[in-house]
């Protein structure tokens, strides 16, 4: 199925340029010229990503985002664009869960690259410490990565044998026998998965930083 993107901007040229480039890349797009129109479309349709201007007449981007999140549905990943620097609005958008904030002028190719990167990166989280697991899942989901979790070493090993994840996130304080078993399995099946370690004394955001360091 094609990736569905809702493009929200009050400037016609931006909407049509985004639409033309993205559809040439194989995406399916829908357009909205205001926050109000975006709300109506989003309520009745499913999208993988929403690309939204921060500053529009009437309903602003962040407020539209906040209202969209009130719908009981699987939500799209949100990317904001803005011609103006607004640290406060950017902070609000990120706290609500947007995965990226881009400054105009933007290259549509960069947006396409960002979307494809988020879709391509798959992560398995195997952390038995529930509090740490939940916090790591929150930051990973917020970044828009494809993610699965394993609740036991047996489940983790089964998943690893079935899927070649880009990254496997583990608790470095977990029993060494489990870590050894997991790393050995990755090696034996010639998986390209990279291990990312975290512990409960570290900020969960470090997982994203380590993934980005390994990616870049």
pLDDT at 40 (0 to 100): 95
In this structure, the answer to whether residues 112 and 125 fall within a common structural domain is: no
Cβ contacts of 156 within 8 Å, gap of 6 or more: 124, 126, 150, 168, 182
- The pLDDT tens digits for 150-207 are 999 999 999 999 888 999 999 999 999 999 999 999 999 988 899 999 999 999 999 9
Residues 112 and 9 reside in one and the same domain? yes
Percent of all residues in the chain with a pLDDT value above 90, rounded to a whole number: 62
pTM confidence score: 0.67
If one counts the domains in the chain, the total is: 2
In the sheet with 100-103, reading across from the earlier edge strand, the strands are 28-32, 4-8, 49-53, 77-82, 100-103
Same domain? 108 vs 21: yes
- Residue with the bigger pLDDT between 22 and 120: it is 22
Looking at the structure, tell me whether residues 114 and 126 fall in a common domain.
no
Do 203 and 127 have their domain in common? Answer: yes
| Residue whose pair of structure tokens reads 């026998």 in the numeric block | 177
User: Which tokens sit at 44?
Assistant: 């009745």
Q: What is the CATH number of the domain that holds 55?
A: 3.40.50.2300
| 112 and 132 in a common domain | no
Domain span at residue 187 reads 121-215
pLDDT tens profile 64-86? 999 999 887 778 889 999 888 77
Q: What is the pLDDT of residue 97?
A: 85
Q: What are the pLDDT digits (tens) for 15-54? A: 999 999 999 999 999 999 999 999 999 999 999 999 999 9
The whole-angstrom separation of Cα 110 and Cα 73 is: 28
Same domain assignment for residues 87 and 175: no
């Amino acid at each position: 199925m094609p990736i569905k993107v809702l493009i929200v901007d009050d400037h016609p040229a931006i909407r049509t340029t985004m639409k033309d480039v993205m559809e040439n890349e194989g995406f399916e797009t829908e357009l909205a010229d205001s926050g109000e129109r975006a709300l109506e479309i989003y309520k009745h349709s499913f999208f993988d990503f929403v690309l939204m201007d921060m500053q529009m007449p009437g309903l602003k981007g962040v407020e539209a985002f906040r209202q969209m999140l009130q719908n009981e549905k699987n939500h799209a990943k949100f990317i904001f664009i803005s011609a103006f620097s607004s640290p406060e609005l950017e902070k609000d958008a990120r706290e609500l869960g947007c995965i990226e904030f881009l400054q105009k002028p933007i290259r549509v190719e960069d947006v396409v690259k960002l979307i494809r990167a988020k879709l391509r990166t798959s992560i398995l989280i195997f952390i038995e410490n529930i509090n740490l697991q939940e916090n790591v899942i929150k930051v990973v989901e917020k970044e828009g990565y494809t993610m699965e979790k394993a609740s036991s070493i047996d489940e983790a090993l089964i998943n690893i044998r079935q899927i070649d994840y880009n990254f496997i996130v583990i608790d470095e304080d977990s029993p060494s026998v489990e870590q050894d078993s997991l790393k050995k399995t990755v090696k034996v099946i010639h998986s390209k998965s990279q291990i990312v370690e975290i512990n409960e004394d570290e900020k969960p955001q470090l997982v994203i930083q380590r993934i980005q360091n390994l990616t870049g």
